[in-house]
Amino acid sequence: MSRKYVEKSFLYLFDLVSEKFPDINIILALNDDAGKARIGVSSRRQFAFTDDDEPIKISVATKIFYQSKARVDGILMHEFGHAILMFQEKDHTEKDADKIAEKIFNCYIYYDEDLVQNTNHGIRPRPKNI
């Protein structure tokens, strides 16, 4: 894919979220630290994270630009799930982020062979070991 597709997908998903949560403020940021290994997450499957700053920030690593549309959409949907739950000031799990994203976007989030979110194949719900 490309940076242009990532930005397009972000804007499309943001429009859907803002219909249900008109006061939500979310920005997309480029941050290669989003692609580094974090506690409990290998760098191989780490493409993005969400911070509950004001505005809420979804940070993506440049390596997301080289993923399929299905992966980009699945990753961003999952991060929007976090953003919505942060906006609602709810403590939540990774699985909770998937659940609310699937409800808002009316689309399943699957986990592929690399355990990365996507919208078209793999297992669901989120495996317990990740």
Note the pLDDT tens digit of each residue in 36-48.
Answer: 655 455 577 889 9
Note the pLDDT tens digit of each residue in 29-72.
Answer: 987 676 565 545 557 788 999 999 889 999 998 899 999 999 99
Q: Edge-to-edge strand order for the sheet containing 26-30?
A: 26-30, 56-60, 48-51
- List the chain domain ranges: 3-118
Structure tokens at 29: 């940021």
Q: How far apart are CA 12 and CA 84, in angstroms?
A: 15
Task: Give the pTM.
Answer: 0.92
pLDDT at residue 120 greater than cutoff 90: yes
Q: How far apart are CA 130 and CA 57, in angstroms?
A: 22
CATH, domain range 3-118:
3.30.2010.10
